[in-house]
């Protein structure tokens, strides 16, 4: 933060400063009586439950999908940890492209590759300690930087329960109608 760009960079950057469901994460860590792997699992599950309708996520995802369907060129998706918002937006992109759910899940779970997890743990432990004064054990940090199939399942379940389907969620919440979905699929499947 901020994302570094070279002189003459002309790419479209989609970001916002809207507080999201993770805005009070440091306060939640400070207030919790037991920061364990289970705490991080429950916290992540709650994030995925709320994210599909959180103002910040809706704004980011809507603008991303509109840009994806309306522009040409390469696309890079990244965020602070590269697993939650990134995982959801890539999974929804896979959905639009017709990727089977099992393959989408396998791609999402690749986040748990051992080398990547170890690098994220090395960063996260000191970062949490410096931010909150809380020291988290290895199991807690490992859970904090990992994903679980239950997380993505929770997000898709919320979309389906509230809107009847992921496609209805796309149209009703993100403004991605069938025409835009087709344009996105055509673009990324060429």
Averaged pLDDT of the chain: 88
**What distance in Å separates the CA atoms of residue 180 and residue 131, rounded to the nearest whole number?**
41
**What distance in Å separates the CA atoms of residue 85 and residue 70, rounded to the nearest whole number?**
21
Query: Residue 80 CB: number of other CB atoms within 10 A?
Result: 10
First to last CA, the chain: 33
Whether residue 170 contacts residue 181, with contact meaning beta carbons closer than 8 Å, is answered with: yes
Low-confidence ranges of the chain (pLDDT < 70): 1-2, 20-25, 80-81, 114-115
pLDDT of the residue at 49: 96
pLDDT of the residue at 22: 54
- DSSP code string of 122-187: HHHHHHHHHHHS----HHHHHHHT---HHHHHHHHHHHHHHHSSHHHHHHHHH---HHHHHHHHHH
pLDDT of the residue at 79: 72
pLDDT of the residue at 83: 87
Task: Enumerate residues 6+ apart whose C-beta is below 8 A from 67.
Answer: 12, 14, 75
pLDDT of the residue at 101: 93
pLDDT of the residue at 180: 96
């Amino acid at each position: 933060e901020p994302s570094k760009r070279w002189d003459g960079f002309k790419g479209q950057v989609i970001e916002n400063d809207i507080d999201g469901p993770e805005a009070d994460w440091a306060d939640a860590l400070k207030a919790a009586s037991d920061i364990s792997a289970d705490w991080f699992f429950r916290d992540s599950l709650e994030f995925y439950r709320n994210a599909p309708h959180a103002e910040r996520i809706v704004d980011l995802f809507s603008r991303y999908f509109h840009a994806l369907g309306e522009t040409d060129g390469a696309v890079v998706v990244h965020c602070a940890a590269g697993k939650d918002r990134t995982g959801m937006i890539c999974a929804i992109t896979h959905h639009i492209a017709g990727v089977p759910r099992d393959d989408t899940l396998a791609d999402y779970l690749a986040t748990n590759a051992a080398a990547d997890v170890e690098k994220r743990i090395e960063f996260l432990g000191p970062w949490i300690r410096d931010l909150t004064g809380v020291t988290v054990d290895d199991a807690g940090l490992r859970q904090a930087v990992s994903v679980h199939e239950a997380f993505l399942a929770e997000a898709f379940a919320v979309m389906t329960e509230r809107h009847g389907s992921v496609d209805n969620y796309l149209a009703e919440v993100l403004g991605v109608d069938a025409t835009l979905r087709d344009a996105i699929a055509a673009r990324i499947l060429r």
